[in-house]
């Protein structure tokens, strides 16, 4: 197992250092709890010490059973470090950090404010980041996989920060002598005969500047320890130096391996295969070189392999020692089946921390991966993929449609794709936390039946707190070694109280406070007004949480910090212990200590939380009744962390520290084997009955454990296992909890909830079959009672009733009401009630096609249909049997992708005259379309369902018209600028034929050509630039139109405005055009002549008060156009060359020039 320590070094003036130690278990659940499921999971202890505001922190983590420990920064000094994401099987090394003397030397440390600490609280439920993996330096997001960690947690760290307040730390310093005197009087030996432990010290020469370390102890029956020390530069945010040390004698001596791995190589992280502790992986600093160093002989030799991506997190396979998943910084997931020697891309756009290995016996293939892929900010997909062949053909889609982003959780036999905060899935039952609409800092706990579908309330208003990463943690602690025993902090009338249960949340009660304090004074504390309360959580301030520890090997012994009174407080915190599983408690220290388990729990080690250097620790061999003081070093040592031997035995420990702020790392190895007299024998054990205030039948059985006698001073050893004798009990009402849809009343009875419809439980029933009709109760999961009231409370099997179809549902597999043209649409039909095997289903797709199916089961995989036309279809499904029928409707929008839009609008409009604006879509039929129009400076848009709108401009000048077209998920926009005047003149222009050879017919070219033509006309005619507007029209042959606008200086202030001056300018321009005076050079050697077209374009709007002459001209133009079209059609074979130019001009008049405006003009 691996351990890590980080520490900070202080200057000569900073002699205060607050040090805290505690064991922290780890769970494989998505939302971890302080000690859930300790039976098959490794546990640990963790310390976080804050040395400076926001920067200088340290944390010690000793993962029991894994041999790793960490003391590391948790305040953002080194954020987002790579982390092993294996749920309960990734055993990689952890950090140790020394005090950062460089940052502290120039600062004075306030006595009360600068010293903060964190204590481990065991398993803590992480609600916001289920299944997270980890991150590396440079990643803006911190990754945490199925656990709770500080922002700077190392790879695979799975503990929760713990600590006490600065004020509390400051108070302890002045009274330390009194405390020591009290404890010395309790010591079993005399002061003159100081007890000493067998120890040896080794200094890491040359690493005095290094401020971080990662430590790994290979495992049980191995003497190899690896230690990676690093110098982390807080200003640069990267590692600048590193050293690798290896011990083969349990930490007595160390060898420096820098020359073996490469003197110039900078190492950043150390990983270990959870299935083979001999396999080591070192990750280099990617700022210098991105590569891996791999060892298969416990770190004796290494091979180097280059990487072409930046690893953020790793996930080891739970069974295959060489299978690894690596998450890259670019949201790509990679896999290796050779322990990192070769990598292969699995999938892109993978959601962070949302990838999981398949589980043996549950998934079809061992190499299957569960993924959540990101589609958009609001949509994601759940897919399964083969490890070495993740192609579209091999991808599975277990859940139809899209899922919410960051919602996929795969745990044991359950898969969750909704926002349900999963706590545990052990023993075929899901425990989940849900925050109701009226809750702020509390959650309700729910438990499910075996299927994980139906949930009942277990406990209301359980306290929560915000973790260091913004993750929510629930105050729920599962006691190790005793099935069904939990501790929880519940808010009741604004007071937080600690409750205990022995039957998995069926019944809860308060904790009885100790009867006397350390001095033997009687404590007057009567239930329910006064009780014992324990710290189980990391609060909003992560540096003021308590600690708690229990072990599988010593059932019934729990050590925790807490307070006595009406509610839980953070002041006057003491240490308490229980030897009988929470029935009675004793106070063991009136200050906070870290209590560690030795020899399977046969002995306890206590280390005082103090900012001073120490050389003593305390040992107890009688479950904390008497404590003996031992020295572990001759010189006082500032302790930075503790590393224990892997496994529950823990008879060898290494303490990391330094003797002064300038000293090198000091590694003190302590061998506790010498303090034990002999090996334990059968006579050293006594039976102990588990009970709850005298009630021995718990979880349906009477359990008798074999415990070590308090006076026995022997070694239990590695082969020791807890012996339990179980005797089943008769079932009573207390063995049953309320079933789904039922709630417990004040009298203890389970009655139906107001929302529950009892008939819904038989909705999947098939006629002539049976179903279980609930009595309102169900036996608590894992309860082993027999007989008694079993028959009375157990659900009764009854014949399925015949009933008409009810609750018919019709949805698409994507969960959408839209689909793309020509795509396969899958409809899902299901019944809430009714015999599906004898109920026919008729589905009408709304496009003239309908099909009938004999029963619901025949369409479980859905009904596929392809629509060939765009539109809105009324889809119906009808369920019918001999007792009745039911119909449900669905209105489906079939659309196609909108590719482009064009706003057709006049270039010039007449003031106070209505103008038609039209949007042309491509393709023309795309389904339901919404048009949003903005005119000029109007802040409120006009929304229409039609692509044409009429508008009147009331002011002269330049107006901008903007239209947005929304079709499905696509929004396109076009904009036109319109010049508004009271009158104007316009004419069509034609060009010499050589211009067509150079016309690409794109918007940019037309804009440039319009500008050149205008300049040529201004030069040839002398017309003012601001009075002339030229625009080249789309299409070939090339054509254009020019507009003559009134001169504002001539007409401004005149009540009688006429167009006489425009008529004069028009004749001038036409004369110049007819004389071929308007020319421009397109490119060298290409001269273009501009002509007046033979047919002048009629005004787009009415510009005069007398319409008769213009109307006749327009009527004549229409007649001529119609005649031309007829002749072209009739004689196109013979007359095509003749009519080519004229036809184009006419078609431009009728089509390009806004035909609707002509009609409006004629109607005036």
In three-state form (DSSP H/G/I as H, E/B as E, the rest C), the secondary structure along 343-396 is CEEEECCEEEEEEEECCCCCCCCCCEEEEEEECCCCCEEEEEEECCCCCCCCCE
Question: How confident is the model at residue 537, as a pLDDT?
Answer: 62
* Pairwise CA distance, residues 265 & 279, whole Å: 20
Which of 264-278, 1070-1084, 1088-1102 is least confident? 1088-1102
**β-pair partners for 851:** 843
pLDDT range class, residue 56, cuts 50, 70, 90:
very low
Check residues 666 and 56 and name the one with the higher pLDDT: 666
Phi-psi map region of 859: left, alpha, beta (phi>0 left; psi -120 to 50 alpha): alpha
For residue 356, the model assigns a pLDDT of: 92
Beta bridge partners of 125: 474
Structure tokens at 53: 């505001």
Interatomic CA distance for residues 1127 and 1139, integer angstroms: 9
Q: Which tokens go with 1086?
A: 């290409």
Exposure of 552 by Cβ count < 10 A (0-12 exposed, 13-18 middle, 19+ buried)? buried
88 neighbors 26 (Cβ within 8 angstroms): yes
Quick one: average pLDDT of 94-118? 33
SS3 of 980-1001: EECCCEEEEEEECHHHHHHCCC
What pLDDT is attached to residue 220? 61
Rounded distance between C-alpha atoms, residue 327 and residue 314, angstroms: 6
- 603-608 long-range Cβ contacts below 8 angstroms, 24+ apart: 603/672, 604/559, 605/653, 606/575, 607/19, 607/21, 607/639, 607/642
pLDDT in tens, 681-697: 888 899 999 999 999 99
Identify the band that residue 139 occupies on the pLDDT scale cut at 50, 70 and 90.
very low
Taking residues 58-62, report their average pLDDT: 31
Which of the two residues, 497 and 1143, has the higher pLDDT score? Answer: 497
**What's the full length of the chain, in residues?**
1164
Q: Report the share of the chain in percent with pLDDT over 70.
A: 74
Q: What pLDDT sits at residue 193?
A: 66
By the 10 Å C-beta count (0-12 exposed, 13-18 middle, 19+ buried), 866 is classed as middle
2 within 8 A of 90, measured Cβ to Cβ: no
**Residues paired with 212 in a beta bridge:** 6, 230
Structure tokens at 452: 């994980």
Q: Is the peptide bond before 475 cis (omega within 30 degrees of 0)?
A: no
Enumerate residues 6+ apart whose C-beta is below 8 A from 727. 701, 702, 704
Q: Angle at the Cα of 335 (from 331 to 338), degrees rounded to 5?
A: 150
Q: pLDDT tens digit string along 917-929?
A: 999 998 888 888 9
Task: Classify 206 as helix, strand or coil.
Answer: coil
CA distance 748 to 626: 43
- The CB density around residue 1033, as the number of other CB atoms within 10 Å, is 16
pLDDT digits (tens, 9 = 90+) for 161-182: 223 333 333 333 333 333 333 4
Q: What is the pLDDT of residues 349-391, one digit of tens each?
A: 999 889 999 887 777 777 889 999 998 888 888 989 888 888 8
Strand 770-773, strand 796-799: pairing = antiparallel
Residue 838: predicted pLDDT: 80
SS3 24: strand
| pLDDT band with cut points at 50, 70 and 90 for residue 27 | very low
User: For the residues 1020-1038, what does the mean pLDDT come to?
Assistant: 89
- pLDDT tens for 445-485 read 998 887 788 888 899 999 988 776 667 788 999 998 898 89
Name, of 404-413, 796-805, 868-877, the range with top average pLDDT: 868-877
Q: How far apart are CA 62 and CA 46, in angstroms?
A: 6
Average pLDDT over residues 180-189: 41
Could you give the CA distance from residue 4 to residue 230 in angstroms, rounded to a whole number? 12
Answer with the residue of higher pLDDT: 51 or 860.
860
Two tokens at 1081?
């050079």
Q: What pairing do the DSSP bridges indicate for beta strands 83-84 and 311-316? A: parallel
Answer yes or no: is pLDDT of 401 > 90: no
Q: What is the mean pLDDT of the chain?
A: 75
Q: What is the pLDDT of residues 783-796, one digit of tens each?
A: 999 999 999 999 88
Q: Average of pLDDT values for 823-835?
A: 84
Residue that wins the pLDDT comparison between 130 and 1041: 1041
Q: Extract long-range pairs of 424-430: CB within 8 Å, 24+ residues apart.
A: 424/27, 424/29, 424/33, 424/36, 424/37, 424/478, 425/29, 425/452, 426/36, 426/37, 427/781, 427/782, 428/781, 429/781, 430/455
DSSP string, 735-759: GEEEPTTEEE-TTS-EEE-TT--GG
The three-state secondary structure class of 8 is strand
Q: Which residue has the tokens 């006419």?
A: 1146
Long-range contacts (CB closer than 8 Å, 24 or more residues apart) made by 1015-1020? 1015/1080, 1016/1078, 1016/1079, 1016/1080, 1016/1090, 1017/1042, 1017/1069, 1017/1072, 1017/1078, 1017/1090, 1020/1072, 1020/1077, 1020/1078, 1020/1079
Confidence (pLDDT) at 1060? 82
Per residue in 217-244, pLDDT (tens digit) is 776 667 888 888 888 888 888 888 899 9
How would DSSP label each residue in 583-600? Answer: SS-EEEESS-EEEEEEGG
In this predicted structure, the answer to whether residue 609 has a pLDDT above a threshold of 90 is no
Q: Cβ neighbours of residue 426 under 8 Å, at least 6 residues apart? A: 36, 37, 412
Q: Which residues pair with 653 in a beta bridge?
A: 644, 670
Confirm if 117 and 547 have CB atoms less than 8 A apart.
no
CB 820 within 8 A of CB 895: yes
Residue 1104 near residue 1059 (C-beta atoms within 8 A): yes
What confidence tens digit (pLDDT) does each residue in 513-541 have? Answer: 999 999 899 999 999 999 999 998 643 33
Q: In 3D, which of 487, 485, 465 has the Cα closest to residue 477?
A: 487
Whose tokens are 């109007």? That residue is 938
Q: How sure is the predictor about 861, in pLDDT bands with cuts at 50, 70 and 90?
A: confident
Measure Cα distances from 1140 to 266, 842, 1118, 1128, 1146 in Å.
78, 59, 18, 9, 10
Once rounded to an integer, what is the mean pLDDT over residues 15-43? 30
Cα–Cα distance measured from residue 227 to residue 270, given in angstroms and rounded to the nearest whole number: 9
Distance separating alpha carbons of residues 32 and 536, to the nearest angstrom: 13
Q: What is the mean pLDDT of residues 149-171?
A: 32
Q: How many alpha carbons fall within 13 Å on the CB side of residue 799?
A: 5
The residue among 583, 565, 574 whose CA lies nearest residue 546 is 574
Which tens digit of pLDDT belongs to each residue from 538-569? 433 332 334 788 888 889 999 999 999 999 99
Of 290, 294, 320, 295, nearest in space to 307 by CA = 290
Q: Which of 188-202, 827-841, 901-915, 1060-1074 has the lowest mean pLDDT?
A: 188-202
Instruction: Kindly give, in sequence order, each residue whose CB lies less than 8 Å from that of residue 88, ignoring residues fewer than 6 positions away.
Output: 26, 27, 28, 40, 41, 42, 146, 318
Which position has the token pair 């939990």? 486
Q: Which one has a higher pLDDT value, 1086 or 145? A: 1086
Average pLDDT over residues 87-105: 36
Report the pLDDT value the prediction gives residue 515, as an integer from 0 to 100.
94
For residue 29, what pLDDT is reported?
25
Split at pLDDT 50, 70, 90, the class of 673 is confident
Region 295-322: what's the mean pLDDT? Answer: 90
Q: pTM of whole model > 0.75?
A: no
Predicted confidence (pLDDT) at residue 405 exceeds the cutoff of 60 = yes
What is residue 1135's predicted lDDT score, i.e. its pLDDT?
35
Residue 10 has pLDDT above 90, yes or no: no
* Spatial separation of the C-alpha atoms in residues 294 and 317, rounded to whole Å: 17
pLDDT for position 762: 63
Cβ neighbour number for residue 108 with a 10 Å cutoff: 10
């Amino acid at each position: 197992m691996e351990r890590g320590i980080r520490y900070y070094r202080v200057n000569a003036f900073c002699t205060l250092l607050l040090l805290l130690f505690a064991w922290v278990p780890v769970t494989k659940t998505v939302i971890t709890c302080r000690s859930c499921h300790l039976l098959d999971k490794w546990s640990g202890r963790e310390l976080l010490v804050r040395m400076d505001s926001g920067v200088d922190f340290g944390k010690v983590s000793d993962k029991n059973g894994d041999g790793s420990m960490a003391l590391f920064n948790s305040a953002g000094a080194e954020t987002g470090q790579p982390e092993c994401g294996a749920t309960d099987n990734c055993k990689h090394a952890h950090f140790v950090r020394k005090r950062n003397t460089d940052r502290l030397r120039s600062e004075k440390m306030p006595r009360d404010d600068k010293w903060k600490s964190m204590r481990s609280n065991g398993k803590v439920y992480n609600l916001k980041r289920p299944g997270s993996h980890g991150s590396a330096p440079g990643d803006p997001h911190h990754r945490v996989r199925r656990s709770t960690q500080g922002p700077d947690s190392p790879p695979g760290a799975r503990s929760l920060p713990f600590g006490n307040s600065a004020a509390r730390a400051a108070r302890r310093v002045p009274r330390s002598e009194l405390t020591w005197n009290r404890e010395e009087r309790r010591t079993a030996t005399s002061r003159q005969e100081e007890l000493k432990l067998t120890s040896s010290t080794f200094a890491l020469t040359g690493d005095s500047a290094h401020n971080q370390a990662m430590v790994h102890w290979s495992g049980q029956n191995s003497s190899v320890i690896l230690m990676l020390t690093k110098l982390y530069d807080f200003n640069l945010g990267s590692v600048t130096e590193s050293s690798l040390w290896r011990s083969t004698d349990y930490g007595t001596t160390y060898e420096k391996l820098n020359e073996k791995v490469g003197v110039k190589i900078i190492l950043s992280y150390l990983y270990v295969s959870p299935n083979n502790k001999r396999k080591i992986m070192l990750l280099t600093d990617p700022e210098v070189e991105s590569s891996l160093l791999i060892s298969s002989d416990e770190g004796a030799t290494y091979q180097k392999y280059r990487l072409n991506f930046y690893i953020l997190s790793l996930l080891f396979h739970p069974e295959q020692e060489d299978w690894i998943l690596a998450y890259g910084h670019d949201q790509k997931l990679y896999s290796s089946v050779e322990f990192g020697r070769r990598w292969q891309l699995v999938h892109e756009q993978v959601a962070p921390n949302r990838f999981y290995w398949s589980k043996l016996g549950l998934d079809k293939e061992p190499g299957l991966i569960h993924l959540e892929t990101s589609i958009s900010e609001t949509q994601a997909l759940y897919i399964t993929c083969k490890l070495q062949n993740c192609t579209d053909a091999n991808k599975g889609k277990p859940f139809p449609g899209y899922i919410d982003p960051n919602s996929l959780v795969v745990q044991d036999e359950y898969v969750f794709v909704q926002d349900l905060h999963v706590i545990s899935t052990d023993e075929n039952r899901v425990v989940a936390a849900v925050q109701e609409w009226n809750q702020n800092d509390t959650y309700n706990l729910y438990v499910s039946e075996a299927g994980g579908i139906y949930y009942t309330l277990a406990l209301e208003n359980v306290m929560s707190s915000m973790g260091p990463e913004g993750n929510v943690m629930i105050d729920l602690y599962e006691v190790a070694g005793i099935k069904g025993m939990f501790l929880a902090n519940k808010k009741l009338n604004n007071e937080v109280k600690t409750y205990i249960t022995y039957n998995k949340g069926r019944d809860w009660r308060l904790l009885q406070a100790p009867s006397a304090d350390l001095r033997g004074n009687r404590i007057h504390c009567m239930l329910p007004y006064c009780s014992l309360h324990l710290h189980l959580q990391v609060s909003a301030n992560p540096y003021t949480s308590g600690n708690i520890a229990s072990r599988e090997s010593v059932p019934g012994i729990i050590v925790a910090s807490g307070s006595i009174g009406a509610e839980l407080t953070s002041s006057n915190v003491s240490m308490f212990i229980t030897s009988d599983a929470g029935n009675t408690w004793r106070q063991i220290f009136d200050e906070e200590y870290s209590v560690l388990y030795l020899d399977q729990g046969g002995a306890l080690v206590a280390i005082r939380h103090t900012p001073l250097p120490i050389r003593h620790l305390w040992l107890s061999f009688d479950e904390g009744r008497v404590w003996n003081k031992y020295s572990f070093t001759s010189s006082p040592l500032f302790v930075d962390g503790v590393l224990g031997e892997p496994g529950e035995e823990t008879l060898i420990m290494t303490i990391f520290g330094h003797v002064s702020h300038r000293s090198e790392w000091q590694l003190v190895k302590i061998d506790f084997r010498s303090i034990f007299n002999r090996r334990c024998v059968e006579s050293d054990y006594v039976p102990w009955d588990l009970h709850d205030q005298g009630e021995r039948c718990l979880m349906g059985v009477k359990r008798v454990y074999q415990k070590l006698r308090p006076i026995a001073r022997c070694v239990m050893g590695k082969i020791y296992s807890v012996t339990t004798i179980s005797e089943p009990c008769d079932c009573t009402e207390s063995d049953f909890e309320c079933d789904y849809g039922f709630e417990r009343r004040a009298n203890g009875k389970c009655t139906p909830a107001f929302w529950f419809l009892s008939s819904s439980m038989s909705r999947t029933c098939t006629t002539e079959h049976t179903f279980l009709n609930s009595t309102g109760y169900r036996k608590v999961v894992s309860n082993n009672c027999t007989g008694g009231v079993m028959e009375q409370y157990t659900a009764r099997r009854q014949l399925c009733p015949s009933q008409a179809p009810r609750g018919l549902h019709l949805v698409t597999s994507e969960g959408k009401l839209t689909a793309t043209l020509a795509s396969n649409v899958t409809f899902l039909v299901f019944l809430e009630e009714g015999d599906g095997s004898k109920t026919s289903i008729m589905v009408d797709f709304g496009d003239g096609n309908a099909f009938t199916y004999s029963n619901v089961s025949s369409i479980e995989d859905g009904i596929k249909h392809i629509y060939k036309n765009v539109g809105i279809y009324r889809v119906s499904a009808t369920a019918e049997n001999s007792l009745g029928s039911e119909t449900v409707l669905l209105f489906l929008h079939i659309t196609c992708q909108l590719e482009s839009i064009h706003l057709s609008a006049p270039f010039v409009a007449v003031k106070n005259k209505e103008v038609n604006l039209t949007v042309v879509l491509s393709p023309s039929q795309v389904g339901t379309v919404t048009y949003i129009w903005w005119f000029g400076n109007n802040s409120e848009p006009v929304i229409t369902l039609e692509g044409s709108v009429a508008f009147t401009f009331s002011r002269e000048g330049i107006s901008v018209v903007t239209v947005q077209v929304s079709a499905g998920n696509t929004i396109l926009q076009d904009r036109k600028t319109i010049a508004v005047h009271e009158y104007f003149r316009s004419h069509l222009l034609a060009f010499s034929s050589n211009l067509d050879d150079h016309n690409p017919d794109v918007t940019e070219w037309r804009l440039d050509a319009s500008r050149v033509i205008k300049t040529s006309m201004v030069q040839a005619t002398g017309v003012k630039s601001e009075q002339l507007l030229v625009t080249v029209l789309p299409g070939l042959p090339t054509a254009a139109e020019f507009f003559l606008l009134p001169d504002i200086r001539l007409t401004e202030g005149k009540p009688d405005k006429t167009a006489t001056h425009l008529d004069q300018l028009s004749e001038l321009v036409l004369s110049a055009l007819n004389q071929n005076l308007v020319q421009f050079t397109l490119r060298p050697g290409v001269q273009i002549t501009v002509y007046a077209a033979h047919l002048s374009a009629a005004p787009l709007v009415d510009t005069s008060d007398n319409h008769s002459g213009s109307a006749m001209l327009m009527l004549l133009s229409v007649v001529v156009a119609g005649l031309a079209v007829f002749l072209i059609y009739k004689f196109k074979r013979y007359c095509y060359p003749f009519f080519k130019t004229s036809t184009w001009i006419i078609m431009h008049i009728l089509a390009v020039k806004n035909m609707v405006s002509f009609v409006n003009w004629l109607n005036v």
